[in-house]
Amino acid sequence: MTSTTALPDQKKVGMVSLGCPKALVDSERILTRLRADGYAMSPDYAGADVVLVNTCGFLDSAKEESLAAIGEAIAENGRVIVTGCMGEEADAIRAAHPQVLAVTGAHQYEQVVDAVHTHAPPSQGPFVDLIPQPSEQDIKLTPRHYSYLKISEGCNHSCAFCIIPQLRGKLASRRVDAVLREAEKLVAAGTRELLVISQDTSAYGVDTRHEARSWKDREVRAHMTDLARELGQLRTVDDQAPWVRLHYVYPYPHVDAVIPLMAEGLLTPYLDIPFQHASPNVLRAMKRPANEAKVLERLKNWREVCPEIAIRSSFVVGFPGETEADFEYLLEWLEEAQLDRVGAFRFEPVEGAAANDLPDPVPEALKEERYARLMEVTERISAAKLAAKVGSTIPVIIDEVGEPDEDGDTGATGRSQADAPEIDGQVFLRNVSDNLLAGQVISVLVEDADAHDLFGVPA
């Protein structure tokens, strides 16, 4: 057993990370760089020499949450550096919290690190050079058994309700060999599930003209299909294929090519597709890409190729100009599409979005009524789909193992291949082995289900 000794005068950094998984990856990279520069991480406000708040600025409600988090950090610690998407609105942040030490924008890693160096200079003790470098041992803010793999930054679309291009810029894809190298390292370190993320996963490599790079003595293009195929070749230390889950996939035609990879077992049979709506009128007003695709026909074809595929999506209700006929069209579309997982959001104006200037805003009460109707439909569909799994045996990845109860029965919580962490359902297990560990994938007999979750026992 090895022991660790703190460096002389070693500075500590606290982190509050808000927003989406892409922002979480940014937080991991910032902390990894800071640790390589000699900093330690503080789990609380009290022990930190400086606190970083990685903000979200996608919606006005998210901005309010970010400002509240900054205020809490100032009240608890007093020395706060702000970064992330809302960092683009430095004036608004300083108007609300003039005490902040520095403000930087999204994925501006060097500026964040420079600000920390300025306001909490790193230790210059004799052992600083012995600290692991980022390439050797990155900091993770997720459990050890799953990891987010960010393949690109920014977005080339101009959706009327979104300001991501203003916050994070145009599409900038990472080199495919760099992505694969990171994925290989994560799997070697214990990752059992890779969650591929970006603003637009389907567009990966468009900006580099799908530049090819050498990987494992072969040329691999920076293209979603090629990347997915290579990720499916990875193996864990015990020679198991990790789950590879694709998020933020726009339904471009080439998405059809990844479905056979799921059928072959190279990819987790799961697609996260942000449809946002189904009515052609609303999609045109949203300026959504690929809104003319025959999505229902493609969904049918995907299920014929890979019957196990689970499709999740999110929808916006109450977009300006959305009529009752548009909303009824969406409900009928959902009945036919039979999506496995659905999230819904009430339209919310965000400063700088083109949708704010559209006519015929939907009253808040009507938004709420439509939201409730949509959720009623999607919950009924979900309940029926999950009920159909009762009696079957499915693979489940374990997220957490509980303590034995008074009868000595140990429970656990996991997820099926249809469930991404934090956003989808769970599988609740009874009577699991005492030596079961988080990250293991086991076979589970499904005994019961509700509208969102499954219940079972190890098979």
Tokens of 287: 């300026």
pLDDT tens readout for residues 419-436: 999 899 999 999 999 899
pLDDT bin (cut points 50, 70, 90) of residue 293 is low
Count of domains observed in the chain: 3
3-state secondary structure (DSSP) of residue 22: helix
How far out from the chain centre does Cα 452 lie? Answer: 19
CATH number at residue 87: 3.40.50.12160
39-48, 70-79, 328-337 — which is least confidently predicted?
39-48
Residues facing 189 on adjacent strands: none
When the pLDDT of each residue in the chain is averaged and rounded to a whole number, the result is: 89
In whole angstroms, give the CA distance from residue 174 to residue 179.
7
Q: Answer yes or no: are the C-beta atoms of 293 and 302 closer than 8 Å.
A: no
- The reply to whether 411 and 378 lie within a common domain is no
CB atoms within 10 A of CB 259: 20
Q: Answer yes or no: are the C-beta atoms of 236 and 192 closer than 8 Å.
A: yes
Instruction: Please say if the pLDDT value at position 290 is more than 60.
Output: no
CATH number at residue 397: 2.40.50.140
What's the one-letter identity of residue 429? L
* One-character DSSP codes across 228-291: HHHHTT---TTS-PPEEEE-S----GGGGGGHHHHHTTSS-SEEE---B---HHHHHHHT-TTT
Which residues, including other chains, have CB under 8 Å from residue 224's CB and lie 6 or more apart? 201, 202, 204, 205, 246, 249, 254, 255, 258
CATH number at residue 159: 3.80.30.20
φ, ψ for residue 369, nearest 5 deg = -65, -40
- The reply to whether 34 and 82 lie within a common domain is yes
State which of 335, 352, 387 marks the end of a domain: 387
In whole angstroms, give the CA distance from residue 399 to residue 436.
11
- The reply to whether 120 and 269 lie within a common domain is no
CA-CA-CA-CA torsion sign (378, 243, 164, 98): positive
State which of 104, 130, 156 marks the end of a domain: 130
Q: With helix as H, strand as E and coil as C, how does 313-335 read?
A: EEEEECCCCCCHHHHHHHHHHHH
Instruction: Please say if the pLDDT value at position 236 is more than 50.
Output: yes
Q: What is the pLDDT of residue 129?
A: 44
- The reply to whether 265 and 310 lie within a common domain is yes
State which of 100, 130, 160 marks the end of a domain: 130
Structural domain harbouring 413: 393-458
pLDDT bin (cut points 50, 70, 90) of residue 358 is confident
pLDDT bin (cut points 50, 70, 90) of residue 144 is confident
Query: Span 231-237, mean pLDDT?
Result: 94
- The reply to whether 382 and 406 lie within a common domain is no
- The reply to whether 210 and 359 lie within a common domain is yes
